Every structure is written in structure tokens, then in C-alpha cells.
């Protein structure tokens, strides 16, 4: 199942719609790395609200997405990790260290605004 990626201004929003296989996750990673360059995006939001399982592979792939897009000059924030999913991740030892997270899409957008507009504010 392909993950739709929306372009909104300087940001890309990947909104996961259903359970993803490993192949789906890898395709999302590659698509985002490519589109950050194509659209010169400054920020990426990956919305995982519908995911009912975040296992070691999903967690590692989201981490890879965040670090790859960072190397391409864009900030990534993961939004919508459900409370039960967060609990299971901690039990499993998955902490998404070094990856930005936010409660939901709204908070994620606010985070990117702060993060990507800072340079502009300094100049102004």
C-alpha cells in the first residue's frame, strides 16, 4: 500500500493510511529522500496515527528517514504515535533516539515552523 505524500509549501506530509509492510516502508523512505530534493523541501512530516504496531523494522526505517532527509537539508518530525504503540516501543527498547516527534499533525507543523523559519528571523 503506497503512502500518499502531500506537498504543502516548504513541507512534505506523508500520511500513512494503513498497516505497512517492510517494502512499503522502504519505498516511503526512498520517495521522501527523492522528493525533498525535487521540491526543495525544508521539512517533512510522517503521520503514523493509524499504525497499530511499530516494531523494530518500522522504528529503524523511520529513524533512517529522519537522518537521510536531514542529510538532504530537511527536518523530519514523526507525528501521531499512539499511546499503546509508545508503550510497546519502550518495552521493546525502541526510543527513536535523535528523531523529532510531535503529538499530532498540528504540533508537527508548529515544530517545523519554529525550526525552519529561525534562520529567516535572524536575518530579519
Binding site for another protein (CB under 8 A): 19-23, 52-57, 59-60, 82-85, 87-89, 91-94
C-alpha cell at 89: 516501543
Nearer to another protein, 88 or 116 (CB): 88
| CA-closest candidate to residue 95, choices 54, 48, 67 | 54
Nearer to another protein, 86 or 105 (CB): 86
Sheet holding 43-47, edge to edge: 5-8, 11-15, 43-47, 75-79, 100-102
Least distance in angstroms from the C-beta of 82 to another protein = 8
Question: For the purposes of burial, counting CB atoms within 10 Å of the CB of 20, is it exposed (0-12), middle (13-18) or buried (19 or more)?
Answer: buried
Strands 5-8 and 43-47: unpaired
Least distance in angstroms from the C-beta of 56 to another protein = 2
Least distance in angstroms from the C-beta of 103 to another protein = 18
Nearer to another protein, 13 or 51 (CB): 51
Nearer to another protein, 12 or 81 (CB): 81
| CA-closest candidate to residue 81, choices 58, 115, 110, 114 | 58
Amino acid at each position: 500500500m503506497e503512502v500518499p505524500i502531500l506537498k504543502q509549501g516548504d513541507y512534505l506530509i506523508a500520511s500513512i493510511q494503513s498497516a505497512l509492510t517492510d517494502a512499503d516502508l522502504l519505498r516511503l523512505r526512498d520517495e521522501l529522500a527523492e522528493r525533498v530534493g525535487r521540491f526543495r523541501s525544508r521539512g517533512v512530516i510522517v503521520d503514523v496515527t493509524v499504525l497499530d504496531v511499530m516494531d523494530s523494522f518500522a522504528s529503524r526505517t523511520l529513524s533512517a528517514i529522519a537522518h537521510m532527509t536531514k542529510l538532504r537539508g530537511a527536518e523530519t518530525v514523526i507525528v501521531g504515535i499512539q499511546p499503546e504503540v509508545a508503550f510497546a516501543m519502550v518495552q521493546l527498547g525502541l526510543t527513536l533516539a535523535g528523531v523529532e516527534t510531535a503529538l499530532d499533525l498540528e504540533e508537527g507543523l508548529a515544530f517545523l515552523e519554529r525550526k525552519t523559519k529561525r534562520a529567516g528571523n535572524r536575518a530579519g
